[in-house]
Structure 1
């Protein structure tokens, strides 16, 4: 009955339909009269033809209902011999789900990207222009941040990849502004967890938080409307460093399409980005590490950016504090930071250094490690002193 009802929607004869789908006319006639149970390939073909006639897709639930009816009929008529046909049906249904998911991806991605691509970066440089930044300084900032982002992995790539890079920018060279620009571009690109390591003092952490909020959050009513549509969830504030959170709270990431990974565009772009600015303190970093562990396997699918404004010297981190103490506070901090990174295979690290030197001396050679802080960086971007200096105009 169901097949006959669907066939009537085509408005064509059985012979014409048989010729069109290259199926034996006699077999088609028996299938539609209920004399023989059709294979799933025939049912699949009929459903696709009906979709074309309607000029719209049937719901996934309706396909499932038809498949369930067909499976019950197979079991009643053929018993165990129906197993092969059932497996074939499952395979074809899986292909159909994948085809529909791909279709949804193609429909959703351009629309979403057209709405939010580049918005935070554009708002950021507009705010700098409003504060009186000269065009030459904005151009230099644009060049440095674009170079850095181009060296990071694509957040939607299938293969997880960790990248470590250095931005060479001295003290009082506007490194927080450069970092804010990199973060703005990264958020627009699809990074959804940003962890910023500031200094070891509350004052420095609070100052970094304030500067980043001024750079990344809306300042006027027009931008505030966009901010409401594309929010940024802050897990720290100017007054408060990171605090422990209950399981299932802000560090949990939900997917709209369970069949797709979080880093796929249909899932990634609707996710609200998280921003944390944490002091490099053992107790606070342990808190963060514990909560990230509670987040579970989903963290492996989250494109993450780690910005380190005050990296420690690698030699000191690996060999102690210079007084023979192998487990000093800085060493413990580096170990915890490395554990944090190990939970995120899609983490990208951008470190700010006063200068970068290449020393091949064997006395500096250190043991190999999986930490992004150890060993040579994957890339180096220099805020070249001959380029326009933005430190003097930095409103922060």
Structure 2
């Protein structure tokens, strides 16, 4: 029988791998890949909507699997591995499948090979278009800063003067610059302090930092408010006013860049079944969540929780239930409650109040430990540093006890806060 013509430059397997018929070799390769999934054939068949009997025959080598099935199996293996398969491995399997087609169907294999190549080209084109759209969204969110622009525009409409907006922009930009890149391959955890006195606009500054962080790609924002329900509700309300839609223009922004709130003004954090609300969707399942192709399409979560042992334990339990995905989530933790003076003077073992605070700090530290990509920003009344500088950088292994990694002074020279709400 005359060997059918195949398109040029098609990858071929080494002769040793093609000894004998190709179909048994292909079936053995598919079985080896299938074992990596760790699931039954019937469960897999139902998952990919493929006939169970046909799947069994493909894996035993009784029938030649169509390329659509092979491609589906390869995608499922990539998901199970958590990373894409190497192009060389994919091409070797494709070449083996072509050889099996050639041996089994002769000249008709040419038609199937060309159809397979056309399907692969169309799939690559669809993926490329999807990736381009995701990258365009990424650049828009990063370069234009949709949430930050909407936030500052709303402040300007409320009558904030230019000098106040400039001061707010300066502080929030410097704080964000000290945080880790949310798309970085290696996880990096940072703890910093923003100095801001009582009744001086801490929530406004924090809202600005959160808005910038969401634009940059942070997808989980946990806000620790005070110990009272009233304080937590006030913080939730003010953050929603800053970050959510308030008019028709903002409604369009909200539809394009949604924000999932896991707490409300009326309700503190509540336990959720299996931490389902903390499971983040990935457009490209073979890539990590912090990849730009997954990060910006993912819907960010916002939680405003009271610093209460019972509430924090619920959050800690659900974070544990969320599983390994949290290792890929760029998170921002904002602590609006300054450390009590007695805690700094006497430490965590002084009195009942400091004992409770110690338990709270322990739970918060456990929460942070589940988030390797967490960045912690605390608000303090005063931090000892050079008053002539707007930012001080230090290193620390502790996120709450030791010196911070950086300090951003909200007013290095101004005698009063420059962004007090004119209302």
Q: Which residue in the other structure is 1:279 paired with?
A: 306
Q: TM-score, normalised by structure 2?
A: 0.67
Alignment match of 1:115 (pick from 133, 140, 145):
140
Q: Which residue in the other structure is 1:162 paired with?
A: 189
Instruction: Give the distance between the partners of 1:3 and 1:144, measured in 2 at CA.
Output: 69
Q: Which residue in the other structure is 1:17 paired with?
A: none
Instruction: Give the distance between the partners of 2:343 and 2:230, measured in 1 at CA.
Output: 24
Moved more, 312-321 or 372-381: 312-321
Local SS of the residue matching 2:246: coil
Q: Which residue in the other structure is 2:334 paired with?
A: 307
Alignment of 1:251 with 2:282, yes or no, is no
Rate the CA distance shift 1:2–1:105 in 2: closer, same or farther, 3 A.
farther
Alignment of 1:389 with 2:417, yes or no, is yes
Work out whether residues 245 and 254 of structure 2, in 8 Å CA contact, stay in contact via their aligned partners in 1. yes
Instruction: Give the distance between the partners of 1:68 and 1:124, measured in 2 at CA.
Output: 52
Work out whether residues 159 and 422 of structure 2, in 8 Å CA contact, stay in contact via their aligned partners in 1. no
Q: Which residue in the other structure is 1:10 paired with?
A: none
Q: Which residue in the other structure is 2:317 paired with?
A: 290
CA displacement 1:173-198 (0-9 Å, x = unmatched): 10100000000000000000000000
Instruction: Give the distance between the partners of 1:314 and 1:354, measured in 2 at CA.
Output: 10
Equivalent runs, 1:36-47 vs 2, <5 Å = none
Instruction: Give the distance between the partners of 1:372 and 1:127, measured in 2 at CA.
Output: 33
Alignment of 1:4 with 2:29, yes or no, is no
Local SS of the residue matching 1:276: strand
Local SS of the residue matching 2:333: strand
Query: Paired residues, what number?
Result: 323
Instruction: Give the distance between the partners of 2:264 and 2:209, measured in 1 at CA.
Output: 20
Rate the CA distance shift 1:316–1:5 in 2: closer, same or farther, 3 A.
same
Alignment of 1:147 with 2:147, yes or no, is no
Instruction: Give the distance between the partners of 1:182 and 1:172, measured in 2 at CA.
Output: 18
Q: TM-score, normalised by structure 1?
A: 0.72
In the TM superposition, what is the alpha-carbon distance from 1:274 to its structure 2 partner?
Answer: 0.3
**Structure 1 outlier segments of 4+, above 4 Å:** 62-69, 72-77, 99-106
Equivalent runs, 1:225-264 vs 2, <5 Å = 225-264=252-291
In the TM superposition, what is the alpha-carbon distance from 1:218 to its structure 2 partner?
Answer: 1.5
CA displacement 1:123-181 (0-9 Å, x = unmatched): 00000000000011000000000000000000000010000110011111101000000
Work out whether residues 237 and 265 of structure 2, in 8 Å CA contact, stay in contact via their aligned partners in 1. yes
Q: Which residue in the other structure is 1:177 paired with?
A: 204
| Runs of at least 5 residues in structure 2 that lack an aligned partner in the other structure | 13-20, 23-66, 75-89, 103-123, 387-394
Local SS of the residue matching 1:247: helix
In the TM superposition, what is the alpha-carbon distance from 1:390 to its structure 2 partner?
Answer: 4.1
Equivalent runs, 1:181-200 vs 2, <5 Å = 181-200=208-227
Work out whether residues 164 and 420 of structure 2, in 8 Å CA contact, stay in contact via their aligned partners in 1. no
Work out whether residues 263 and 303 of structure 2, in 8 Å CA contact, stay in contact via their aligned partners in 1. yes
